[in-house]
Structure 1
């Protein structure tokens, strides 16, 4: 029964609405990741470490994470253990398939408040991709990755899980793969429309992170202007390429983490 003080209060409708939202929130809302529902289904096949196919034929790409390292078998096995053959619900901002026909989504196994993405991260079987725009989702994923790293689970049991920016050869071994690289920015230089965060003194050999001129305003708005990163120890994540030395191109602020003072 509604208490009289609330029943006669103008605030009651708003409170009742809030309680209704909490009562009917799906798993994405319960886990602090406020995304729209995109349907449901049963997992028929786990394609790889980030993709699965539902019984109705939809192919789903797990949003917000990347496969960690080069071990394809481990990642697929971990996803199979969590979601294989299970009923799942999908959540996201947009259910439009990508150019490969895959629907990007946060996936929740029936009865779980944590996304499949979070579970993979907690086991050290994935890396946060930093392409999630919803802040609560991004924070949830980052916390899961940090917990696995602190506990040295999965990939984090290996000392090479985070590449040393001074070890160009080790970074080059991960070309084409999503990786995390850590080190001190020795200099910041601009060449044309590209700004280079140089972690070494030889641009033909050493590691650098690059930022396109059009992206700079976003970094400056986040107090991560390139010049402010000079002499700072930072961690960057992204796909490793080779242009002279090993490179990671920075598209989003979330790819950079400042680790300490100058």
Structure 2
């Protein structure tokens, strides 16, 4: 798996390439002119485009293939919509949710998010452009309940908006959040509910009971019995990045004991259910930081 540091380096390289196409730049300029207005006055997908896409990023014209549900450039390079999971329980390279609302011949572009993966696919932002401007496909899917937010590259305001779109879809009980849909949110207090979920991407919520640390790994323990209870881990080398993200809400990793958090990631069975945290946006605290 590509590390957070490697992904950041790749993104920096991408940002040095040629600018994104004029249509997006014009749309971004219009959105920027609304500075000072609340995000709620912007369509979610356009607000996400403004925050997630850098106008210096390169974009590649692509077409959508509804047979394998990937995006193809003329060069043959293949892309998939990054930062999403569709509840399939497999890697995003094989997440192929129907995208029926994409019209044949529609203008689409891919902005690479990271290097090619082992399936020969490149994660990318997918831009849709029409007479109303440019929007982000990922934001549309999240807002309609068509996918889960699965951060591997996004951060800051971009991640905040995408997470908010997912939350709005959940409140509206649409798509993955409709009544009687397969469960995607689990309580860490009930580790047995994770039985059979190995390999599935889920959201887990609960209170951190204790923290642990070895030379290379930080442990977030959600119970007293590590052989059976839920656990999350992150690399010690990534803790600084996690602390930087948590600091935006007044937290850091060392202060999480007793706090209620939300995690998202792929479930593994490792002395009880376990999620490995590779990107800071996989972890958020669900309560306000204490006043100093």
- What TM-score does the superposition give when structure 2 sets the normalisation length? 0.70
* Structure of greater Rg: 1
Could you list the per-position Cα deviations for residues 86-112 of structure 1 after superposition, in whole angstroms to 9, with x for gaps in the alignment?
424224255753343212211123416
RMSD: 3.0
Q: Partner residue of 1:103?
A: 122
Query: For 1:231, which of 258, 264, 269 is the aligned residue?
Result: 258
Q: Match of 2:64? A: 43
Deviation at 1:140, TM superposition (A): 3.1
Contact 1:208 1:246 in 2 (8 A): yes
**Relative to 1, partners in 2 of residues 1:34 and 1:134: Cα closer, same or farther, differing over 3 Å?**
farther
Question: Does 2:171 correspond to 1:153?
Answer: no
Local SS of the residue matching 1:203: coil
CA separation of 1:98 and 1:54: change in aligned 2, threshold 3 A = same
- CA–CA distance in structure 2, aligned partners of residues 249 and 95 of structure 1: 20
Structure having the larger proportion of residues in strand: 1
Distance in 1, matches of 2:101 and 2:23, equals: 26
Unaligned runs of 5+ in 2: 1-20, 32-45
Q: Specify whether residues 196 and 95 from structure 1 end up closer, same or farther in structure 2 by C-alpha distance, changes over 3 A only.
A: closer
Does the CA-based 8 Å contact 1:28-1:115 persist in structure 2?
no
Which residue in the other structure is 2:200 paired with?
A: 177
Superposition deviation, residue 136 in structure 1: 4.3
Match status 1:83 vs 2:106: no
Secondary structure in structure 2 of the residue aligned to 1:231: coil
Q: What SS is found at the alignment partner of 2:70?
A: strand
Equivalenced residues, count = 236
Distance 1:239 1:186, change over 3 A: same
**Cα 1:64/1:94, change in 2 over 3 Å:** closer
Query: Structure 1: which 5+ runs fail to align?
Result: 1-20
CA apart distance, 1:77: 5.0
Structure 1 window deviating more from structure 2 (102-111 vs 235-244): it is 102-111
Which whole-Å CA distance do the structure 1 matches of 2:80 and 2:170 have between them?
Answer: 24
Structure 1 partner of 2:25: 25
Contact 1:90 1:105 in 2 (8 A): no
1:133 and 1:121 map into 2 onto residues whose CA distance is: 14
Residue matched to 2:72: 54
Counterpart position of 2:234: 211
List, as ranges, runs of 4+ consecutive aligned residues in structure 1 with deviation greater than 4 Å.
Answer: 21-24, 26-30, 69-72, 93-96
Shift in CA distance, 77/34, structure 1 to aligned 2, threshold 3 Å = closer
What is the distance in 2 between the residues matched to 1:152 and 1:213?
38
Residues 103 and 64 (structure 1 numbering): CA distance in 2 closer, same or farther, change over 3 Å? same
Assess if the C-alpha contact under 8 Å between 1:34 and 1:134 holds in 2.
no
Alpha-carbon distance, 1:76 to partner: 4.0
SS at match of 1:236: strand
